[in-house]
């Protein structure tokens, strides 16, 4: 009788586990699989992949996630979103569905960067979820509002989508606007150049920039977002792989602009900012530049980003949470030989937050659970992470309620940083122990420095030269070379 009962119990467990796509192998290691989605070949993928590996190892080395007395370890599945050398949504969808079918127990995805590919992958994933009830996708790279915002219009279809990082494009825009409109214009530029300050917009020709550019140049009934102290005198949409900005710079000079808002997520941003500094162009640059978020960017480019102002998750080793944020920076640099960019922070946080949820017996008493069971639990996430406090909005986006000069409530927000003598210093908000003051480029008219002749790349303060990190150089340069070669080859075939 005991033998029959034991066999019956084992068979019952096998049937239940099979229904949830998790078949226990008694005495073996149990895994929770997570797909990591990103643009292989670009630094955004490197950051994502390095971040998830650090989270995986931290969890697994501590014994895994304890759910109902059983330890589960994290297993990663890499998924290319096929953004390099040019976006290929069809290939991205094919790879995503192939990996989902090959791993029927993979309930979670983390990542997603290039909007043109991620939107198509999202639709395929939601179609798949309608049939299979999975996956839940945590975005940790793409900023387009609608990626999670569509939850408000069709909850049943899009409830599987969440964003961990960055904040959405509207919030990124508002963060830029707050700094420029409330501080940079009235306190720094208007006193020197009068009002309104002539301003140009330079935004790469990619979909995620469309709304930002529109708000800055037009803005609807209330006028351009930067307000009456700013006059837009030019707007440019270079390719995301542009390497020569001379013609744009000449046009900006002809318009006598003193402020340029630049928006780049791809390799063109590196060329833009290096040429701006090298040629001593007499305007200040404030914006978004993903390539420039890497601490080693300054050294690799011999300081040709000094004075650039950009949005970032963190400055150089910024102790947002003392002993936590800076420790992660140090651990990351020790392991990978370079600093983390925003996709690394977001990907790491997504896995750690998920592990905290799954490992909480009051929320998840036993495993497996379906995605539909987990979604209302994940919606209630409220934690302190590496970059501050974190919770979701009702539309599964990053909650962010402070973008001004002070930061009192502590929920994660974009920081405004400036390259100053080899460090990304936080200049907005202004009330933190690590906050520094914005510096106007010394070659700007009326600042007191002497403008160098155009095309003279000599630095005002030459940084100490160090041996370049060859791996890092290749990481930054190879995507650009590959893209240019691909485009030339394509034209030649045509």
- The residue with greater pLDDT, 428 or 215, is 428
Does residue 297 fall inside a structural domain? yes
pLDDT at 330: 97
Q: Is the pLDDT of residue 431 over 90?
A: yes
Same domain membership, residue 278 and residue 151:
no
User: Band of the pLDDT at 301, cuts 50, 70, 90?
Assistant: very high
Do 265 and 138 share a structural domain? no
Average confidence (pLDDT) over 416-443 = 97
Q: What is the pLDDT of residue 208?
A: 84
Looking at the fold, whether 147 and 34 belong to one and the same domain comes out as yes
| pLDDT band, very low/low/confident/very high, at 35 (cuts 50, 70, 90) | very high
> Is residue 207 domain-resident?
yes
The answer to whether position 157 is within a domain reads: yes
- pLDDT score recorded for residue 29: 83
Is residue 213 in a domain? Answer: yes
pLDDT score of 445: 87
Q: pLDDT band at 483, cuts 50/70/90?
A: very low
Question: Could you tell me the residue range of the domain that residue 435 belongs to?
Answer: 170-312+404-487
Residue 161 shares a structural domain with residue 175: no
Least confident span in 21-30, 220-229, 381-390, 454-463: 454-463
The per-residue pLDDT for 224 is 81
Tens digits of residue pLDDT in 153-190: 999 999 999 999 999 999 999 999 999 999 999 999 99
Taking a C-beta distance cutoff of 8 angstroms, is the pair 144, 119 a contact? Answer: yes
pLDDT tier at 218, thresholds 50, 70, 90: confident
In a domain, 57, yes or no: yes
How many structural domains are present in the chain?
2
Q: What is the mean pLDDT of residues 242-256?
A: 96
If asked whether residues 40 and 116 sit together in one domain, one would say yes
317 belongs to a structural domain: no
Query: Which of 391, 415, 433 is a domain's end point?
Result: 391
| Same domain (yes/no): 98, 119 | yes
The domain that contains 203 carries what CATH number?
Answer: 3.40.50.2300
| 261 shares a domain with 189 | yes
Summarize pLDDT for 263-286 with one digit per residue, the tens: 998 889 999 999 999 999 999 999
Q: Do 284 and 255 contact (CB within 8 A), yes or no?
A: no
Are residues 240 and 218 part of one domain? yes
Residue 207 has a pLDDT of: 85
Looking at the structure, tell me whether residues 425 and 281 fall in a common domain: yes
Top pLDDT among 43 and 4 is at 43
For residue 113, being part of any structural domain is answered with yes
Q: Is 2's pLDDT higher than 70? A: no
Statement: the pTM of the whole predicted model exceeds 0.95: no
**Lowest model confidence (mean pLDDT) among 300-304, 316-320, 405-409, 484-488:** 484-488
> What digits encode the pLDDT tens for the residues 82-134?
999 889 999 999 999 999 999 999 999 999 999 999 999 999 999 999 999 99
- Does the pLDDT value for residue 480 go beyond 60? no
Contact 197, 189 (CB under 8 A): yes
Beta sheet of 284-289, edge-to-edge order: 230-236, 197-203, 259-264, 284-289, 309-312, 415-420, 423-428
Is the pLDDT confidence value at 475 over 70?
A: no
353 found inside a domain: yes
| Mean pLDDT value of segment 30-44 | 96
- Residue 220, pLDDT score: 62
More confident residue, 489 or 106: 106
Q: Are residues 270 and 292 in the same domain?
A: yes
Opening angle at CA 245, ends 141 and 341, nearest 5: 25
Confidence class of residue 477 from pLDDT cuts 50, 70 and 90? very low
The residue out of 359, 391, 423 marking a domain boundary is 391
Residues 436 and 471 in one domain: yes
Average pLDDT, the chain: 87
Question: Does 76 lie in the same domain as 117?
Answer: yes
Domain closes at, from 361, 391, 421: 391
Interval 20-32 mean pLDDT: 60
In this prediction, what percent of the chain has a pLDDT beyond 70?
A: 84
């Amino acid at each position: 009788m005991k033998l029959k009962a034991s066999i019956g119990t084992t068979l019952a467990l096998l049937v239940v586990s099979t229904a949830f796509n998790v078949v226990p192998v008694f005495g073996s290691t149990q895994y929770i699989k997570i797909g990591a989605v990103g643009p292989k070949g670009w630094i955004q993928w490197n950051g994502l992949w390095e971040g998830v590996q650090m989270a995986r190892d931290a969890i697994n080395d501590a014994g895994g996630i304890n759910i109902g007395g059983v330890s589960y370890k994290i297993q990663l599945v890499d998924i290319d979103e096929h953004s390099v050398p040019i976006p290929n949504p069809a290939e991205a969808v094919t790879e995503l569905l192939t990996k989902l079918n090959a791993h029927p127990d993979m309930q979670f995805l983390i990542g997603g960067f290039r909007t043109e590919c991620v939107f198509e992958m999202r639709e395929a994933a939601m179609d798949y979820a309608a049939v299979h009830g999975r996956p839940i996708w945590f975005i940790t790279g793409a900023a387009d509002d609608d990626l999670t915002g569509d939850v408000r219009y069709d909850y049943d279809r899009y409830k599987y989508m969440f964003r961990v990082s960055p904040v959405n494009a509207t919030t990124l825009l508002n963060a830029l606007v707050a700094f420029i409109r409330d501080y940079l214009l009235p306190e720094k530029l208007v006193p020197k150049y009068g009002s309104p300050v002539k301003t140009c917009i330079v935004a790469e020709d990619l979909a995620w920039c469309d709304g930002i550019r529109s708000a800055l140049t037009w803005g609807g009934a209330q006028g351009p977002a930067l307000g009456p102290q700013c006059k837009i005198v030019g707007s440019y949409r270079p390719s995301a792989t542009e390497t020569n900005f001379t013609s744009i710079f000449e046009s900006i000079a002809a318009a006598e602009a003193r402020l340029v808002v630049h928006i780049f997520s791809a390799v063109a941003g590196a060329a833009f900012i290096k040429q701006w500094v090298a040629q001593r162009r007499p305007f200040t640059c404030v914006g978004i530049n993903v390539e420039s978020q890497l601490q080693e960017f300054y050294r690799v480019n011999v300081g040709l980003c000094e004075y650039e102002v950009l949005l970032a998750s963190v400055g150089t080793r910024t102790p947002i949470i003392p002993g936590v944020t800076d420790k992660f920076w140090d651990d990351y640099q020790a392991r990978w030989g370079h600093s983390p960019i925003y996709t690394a922070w977001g990907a790491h946080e997504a896995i750690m937050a998920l592990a905290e949820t799954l490992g909480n017996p009051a929320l998840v008493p036993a495993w497996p659970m379906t995605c539909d069971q987990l979604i209302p639990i994940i919606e209630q996430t409220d934690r302190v992470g590496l970059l501050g406090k974190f919770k979701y909005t009702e539309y599964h986006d990053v909650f962010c309620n402070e973008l001004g000069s002070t930061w009192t409530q502590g929920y994660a927000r974009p920081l405004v940083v400036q390259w100053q003598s080899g460090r990304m210093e936080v200049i907005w908000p202004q009330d933190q122990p690590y906050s520094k003051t914005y510096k106007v480029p010394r070659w700007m008219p009326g600042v007191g420095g002497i403008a160098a002749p155009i095309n003279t790349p000599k630095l005002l303060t030459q940084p100490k030269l160090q041996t370049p990190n060859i791996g890092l150089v290749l990481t930054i340069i190879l995507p650009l070379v590959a893209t240019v070669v691909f485009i030339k080859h394509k034209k030649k075939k045509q």
